[in-house]
Amino acid sequence: MSRVGIYGGTFDPIHNGHLHVISQLIEKKIIDRLILVPAGQPLLRENAPIASGADRRTMCQLAISTLPLDIASHVELNPIEILREGPSYAIDTVEAVRSTYPDDEIFLIMGADAYSKIDQWHRADELHAMVSIISINRPGFASHGIDIAALDVSATSVRTGLKADVPEIVAAFIRENTLYDN
């Protein structure tokens, strides 16, 4: 039985903080396989993603390519939510992943900020019954999650000009496609 982690997020854009979480989860053997899932239409966010689903998917692919092979070989990008019509519900993604990995233990990975709202999620009780949840402590958020020395980086800061917080290949994609110009 493997431990399969679903790491969903808007990834608008994916940044070094996300990559640090991925690396730590695999290096510390908290999970065996990580499925990175960019959100389609997240419902509990104040604002819709700025970059298109296709652009966020590409940025995730580019970012994964910068990981060391011993980490990257345990990571897969799954665009299920971007390709799904309508709102993105974690429960639907979990059910799809469970059908692909029926004999494995499924973990849902999220930052402490997202975990603080999990009871508002669609079919939250069923979600809790289907997966184990790994809450990642983040700077500035009180939490009882796991501490992996998360980086103090946010997608908001990256969008407002701190491109150094993303791998250079992602920064180049952002510049070439003028994704977050103010």
Would you tell me the crossing angle of helices 168-176 and 53-65 to the nearest 10 degrees? Answer: 150
Q: How far apart are CA 75 and CA 31, in angstroms?
A: 10
* The pLDDT of residue 160: 74
* The pLDDT of residue 18: 94
Instruction: Return the half-sphere exposure (C-beta side, CA atoms, 13 A cut-off) of residue 146.
Output: 12
**Digit-coded pLDDT (tens) for 146-177:** 777 777 777 777 777 756 689 999 999 999 99
Q: How far apart are CA 173 and CA 22, in angstroms?
A: 21
Ordered domains of the chain (ranges, CATH): 3-176 (3.40.50.620)
* The pLDDT of residue 13: 94
Gyration radius of the chain over CA positions: 15
Q: How far apart are CA 49 and CA 13, in angstroms?
A: 9
* The pLDDT of residue 74: 98
Q: Phi and psi at residue 23, in whole multiples of 5°? A: -60, -45
**Cα four-point dihedral sign 155, 160, 164, 167:** positive
* The pLDDT of residue 138: 76
* The pLDDT of residue 146: 75
Helix (H) or strand (E) holding 111: strand 105-111
Chain centre to alpha carbon of residue 95: 17
* The pLDDT of residue 141: 67
* The pLDDT of residue 75: 98
Burial class (CB in 10 A: 0-12, 13-18, 19+), 1: exposed
End-to-end distance of the chain based on CA atoms, in angstroms?
47
For the chain, which residues score pLDDT lower than 70?
A: 42-45, 141-144, 162-164, 182
Q: How far apart are CA 166 and CA 148, in angstroms?
A: 19
